[in-house]
């Protein structure tokens, strides 16, 4: 199963090509769908004892795969970091992992908790301007590099979703990042400071205008607002790590406007390889086309310039890993294609999705037979768009079930939950229409008419393109606009009819994927065939679940019937609203344990 594509011939677009493991010290993996963490901390000795042979061999295989894919670094632990990651005992274990990965050109990095000086009991504060705190980090850096001379640096999630950070002390992102950068600078280490930030509380202020409140209340605006004013103030070894879209790894998002805005600050893009929002390890969703959209927006495919020619300060790429201790690494064999695609695009941002898919299928399944390669290439290339169609077409986003994000729940609204964690905050369905008004002008929407003017954060010509309902690309229409149900799209049909037909198309495609896979039986080992068949059949059923749940829910607001040639729902709205997937039973590496 090991892909040994020759990465030496690739262009190596980005200097930093890193996996980010969201793995916890207790072996769990946040948004992990392939079993438990591969980092078996309890089995790694802190003293001079050797790492267990089986564990070492597993890490060597992991390193060989990453080397083959052109990946040159790995962050071992969750961005929601535990302070214990910097304890001496854990650092000694980390050094043993680094020793295994080093011969393959893989450097080790750590996510760090900003409050570590205080949390580990050494100080009473983590204020970045306190000399004692600065000395603590300097001493810790010295300890790390004594154990791991080629240690890469720190990844930091600060003042986001309750994580500690410099603003706890009235300081700024610049204060926090530059303090850590100064501690690492003598060793040429870097600080990757995540731009995934949004207010810990809903913003309300009676003194502000509706337009101001709309702008500040839109999470899509906040990373831009937090960082654009600091452009040029970060130390040279600080890199701002920005998610590809402005919200949170949705099946489709526009490019984060922050990539266009930062001119004097080093940046790296963060993709999510693990399929938190695209069917986890059950659904097949080849992500290369999604990532191609990102690169082609920054550097249009029609031009000759590469993304790094146009954005020379975009120096790195990070991918949230989809790896676990499943025997085949990612539980779903075809999810390996996303690990591979990430590596390919990290080295050659102009690589085509088709070539990536073909190469993966050839190398992973050890065949050149066109009867397998051709239909499976087409399946992979269609899979991401199919997922968007049966989950959230036309720019809909964040209408998942709460917590596990596997199924649909556009009605999810537990009492006491902050508004911008609820699907209704994003779809804003009412009797007039649906969608989030992110334009600069008033449009009918659920809570007032003011647009959030997220479109205004983009440079021209994107600003004008996105700001106008008539010119906005229809695949992003409901991302940027609250659109009337009877609004006519370019094909001459109403928004409601287009929504119905798009969901129908997604269901058909998922069903066709299962049929395609059944025809692949002669070309795939029996156990791999059966494991994948179960997943394709489940994906087709889930597509129906998504279609019925979303159309029946939104039909309450549109008041319109399904088109005459649209299939009747398989479920009632009452049935889908009562169904709750028990994710405690969900173990992707063992499909027999799934609750359906």
Annotated catalytic residue within 226, 276, 389, 443: 276
In degrees rounded to 5, what are phi and psi of residue 110?
Answer: -130, 140
Token pair for 520: 């692949």
Annotated catalytic residue within 248, 363, 420, 474: 248
Please, what sign has the CA dihedral across residues 482, 486, 487, 492?
positive
Query: What is the spatial distance between Cα 129 and Cα 106, in angstroms, rounded to a whole number?
Result: 33
Catalytic: 225? Answer: no
Query: What is the spatial distance between Cα 459 and Cα 576, in angstroms, rounded to a whole number?
Result: 42
Please state, in angstroms and as integers, the Cα–Cα distance from residue 455 to each residue in 437, 462, 469, 522, following that order. 10, 8, 11, 50
Query: What is the spatial distance between Cα 445 and Cα 433, in angstroms, rounded to a whole number?
Result: 7
Site of tokens 């009867």: 371
Contact 298, 257 (CB under 8 A): no
Query: Residue 401 gets which letter from DSSP?
Result: P
Q: How many residues does the chain have?
A: 596
Annotated catalytic residue within 57, 61, 143, 161: 161
Query: Which are the contacts of 64, defined by CB distance < 8 A and separation ≥ 6?
Result: 2, 4, 104
Catalytic: 202? Answer: no
In degrees rounded to 5, what are phi and psi of residue 483?
Answer: -105, 130
Query: What is the spatial distance between Cα 169 and Cα 298, in angstroms, rounded to a whole number?
Result: 36
Catalytic: 385? Answer: no
* Residue from 553, 539, 533 nearest 509 by CA: 539
Catalytic center residues: 161, 248, 276
């Amino acid at each position: 199963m090991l892909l040994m594509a020759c990465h030496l011939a690739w262009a190596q677009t980005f200097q930093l090509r890193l996996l980010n493991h969201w793995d916890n010290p207790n072996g769990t993996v946040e948004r992990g769908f392939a079993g438990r963490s591969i980092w078996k901390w309890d089995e790694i000795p802190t003293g001079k004892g050797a790492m267990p042979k089986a564990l070492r061999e597993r890490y060597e295989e992991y390193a060989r795969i990453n080397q083959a894919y052109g990946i040159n670094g790995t962050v071992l632990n969750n961005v929601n970091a535990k302070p214990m990651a910097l304890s001496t005992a854990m650092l000694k274990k980390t050094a043993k992992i680094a020793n295994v990965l080093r011969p393959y050109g893989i450097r080790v990095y750590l996510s760090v908790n900003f409050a570590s000086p205080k949390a580990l009991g050494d100080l009473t504060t983590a204020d970045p301007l306190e000399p004692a705190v600065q000395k603590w980090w300097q001493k810790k850096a010295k300890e790390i590099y004594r154990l791991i001379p080629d240690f890469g640096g720190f990844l930091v999630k600060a003042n986001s979703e309750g994580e500690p950070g410099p603003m706890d002390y009235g300081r700024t992102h610049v204060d926090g990042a530059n303090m850590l950068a100064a501690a690492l600078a003598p060793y040429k280490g870097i600080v990757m400071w995540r731009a995934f930030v949004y207010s810990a509380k809903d913003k309300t202020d009676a003194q502000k205008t509706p337009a101001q409140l709309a702008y500040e209340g839109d999470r899509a605006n906040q990373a831009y607002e937090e960082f654009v004013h600091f452009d040029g103030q970060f130390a040279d070894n600080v890199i701002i790590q920005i998610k590809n879209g402005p919200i949170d790894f949705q099946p489709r998002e526009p490019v984060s406007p922050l990539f266009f805005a930062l001119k004097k600050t080093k940046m790296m893009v963060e993709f999510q390889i693990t399929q938190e929002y695209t069917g986890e390890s059950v659904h097949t969703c080849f992500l290369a086309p999604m990532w191609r959209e990102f690169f082609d927006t920054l550097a249009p495919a029609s031009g000759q310039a590469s993304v790094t020619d146009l954005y020379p300060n975009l120096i790195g790429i990070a991918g949230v890993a989809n790896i676990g201790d499943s025997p085949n690494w990612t539980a779903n064999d075809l999810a390996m294609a996303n690990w591979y695609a990430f590596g390919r695009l990290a080295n050659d941002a102009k690589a085509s999705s088709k070539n990536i898919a073909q190469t993966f299928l050839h190398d992973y399944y050890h065949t050149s037979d066109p009867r397998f390669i051709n239909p499976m290439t087409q399946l992979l290339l269609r899979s991401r768009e199919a997922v968007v169609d049966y989950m959230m077409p036309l720019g809909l986003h964040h209408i998942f079930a709460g917590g596990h994000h596997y199924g649909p729940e556009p009605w999810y609204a537990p009492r006491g939950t902050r508004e911008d964690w609820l699907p209704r905050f994003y779809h804003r369905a009412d009797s007039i229409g649906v969608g989030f008004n992110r334009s600069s002008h008033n449009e009918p929407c659920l809570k007032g008419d003011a647009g959030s003017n997220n479109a205004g954060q983009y440079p021209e010509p994107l600003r004008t393109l996105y700001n106008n309902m008539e010119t906005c690309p229809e695949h992003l229409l409901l991302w940027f606009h609250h659109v009337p149900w009877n609004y006519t799209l370019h094909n001459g049909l109403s928004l409601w009819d287009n929504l119905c037909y798009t969901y129908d198309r997604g269901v058909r495609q998922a069903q066709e994927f299962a049929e395609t896979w059944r025809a692949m039986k002669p070309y795939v080992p029996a156990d791999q065939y059966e494991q994948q068949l179960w997943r394709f059949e489940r994906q087709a059923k889930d597509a129906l679940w998504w279609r019925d749940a979303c159309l029946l829910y939104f039909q309450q607001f549109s008041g319109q019937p399904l088109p005459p040639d649209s299939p009747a729902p398989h479920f009632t709205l009452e049935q889908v609203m009562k169904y709750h997937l028990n994710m405690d039973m969900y173990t992707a590496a063992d499909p027999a344990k799934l609750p359906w």
